[in-house]
Amino acid sequence: MADSESPDLFVFRLGPKRFALPLERVGAAVRAAYVEELPGAPTLVLGMLNVRGEVMPVIDLGRRFGLPPRPVAPEGFFLIVRSGRRAMALRVDALDGLARRNAVNANEVENLPAVDGILGVAVLEDGLTVIFDLDACLSLDEEERLDAALAETGVRDG
């Protein structure tokens, strides 16, 4: 594969919806596991998880996109990602894998979700996919509440 054709997105599913992240933000995909409660964290945060010795918050993106809350299931996955501020695990339902985005004209895209945190839309071989902005995952208030909750547990975040 030539460099211009190298994958640059990691595609995943939340319920019936498909999303993608820039590949450079994704460190790993792991099977869902037990999540330790994190009192005082925002509702978007399911708890915390120890991944290879690093404790990180587990974020339920489905809640951000208005999907009904569901418990973590063994058939689910966590994407280990890094925003501009912290490492975190994103709860996702399925992994579609690597993809290369194609250019898209904004006039060709309709019905984009009216949600902060959307970088854009990628045209993939099998349709359009919303590209999620990881740096906008948590609001400033949610970041502050998460920092306080982690500090209460003695976990250093970063």
- The DSSP line for 12-72 is EEETTEEEEEEGGGEEEEEE----B--TT--TTEEEEEEETTEEEEEEEHHHHTTPPP---
Q: Apex CA 127: angle with CA 12 and CA 75, to 5°?
A: 25
Question: Token digits for 73?
Answer: 């299931």
| Domain span including residue 26 | 3-153
What does the alpha-carbon distance between residue 34 and residue 26 come to, in Å, rounded to a whole number?
21
**Residue 158 falls within a domain, yes or no?**
no
Tell me if 146 is assigned to some domain: yes
Which CATH number covers residue 104? Answer: 2.40.50.180
Per-residue model confidence as pLDDT tens for the chain (158 residues) = 444 555 689 999 988 889 999 999 999 999 998 999 999 999 999 999 998 888 999 999 888 878 887 888 888 899 999 988 889 999 999 999 898 876 544 444 444 544 567 777 888 877 788 888 888 888 889 999 999 999 988 776 55
Q: Which pLDDT does position 100 carry in this prediction? A: 80
Q: Quick one: pLDDT at residue 49?
A: 92
Has residue 31 been placed in a domain?
Answer: yes
Of the candidates 3, 152, 12, the residue with the CA atom closest to the CA atom of residue 81: 12
Q: What DSSP character marks residue 140?
A: H
Structure token pair of residue 26: 């994704």
**pTM of the model as a whole:** 0.82
Burial 72-86 (b: 16+ CB within 10 A, else e): beeebbbbbbebeeb
Residue 58's nearest CA partner among 84, 86, 16 is 86
> Does 44 fall in a domain?
yes
Q: For the chain, how many structural domains are there in total?
A: 1
* Long-range residue pairs from 139-144, CB within 8 A, at least 24 positions apart, any chain: 141/42, 142/42, 142/44, 142/45, 143/85
Which amino acid, 58? V
Average pLDDT across the chain, whole number = 82
pLDDT in tens, 49-86: 998 888 999 999 888 878 887 888 888 899 999 988 88
The per-residue pLDDT for 158 is: 52
Query: Would you say how long the chain is, in residues?
Result: 158
User: Domain for residue 51, yes or no?
Assistant: yes
42 falls within a domain: yes
| 98 belongs to a structural domain | yes
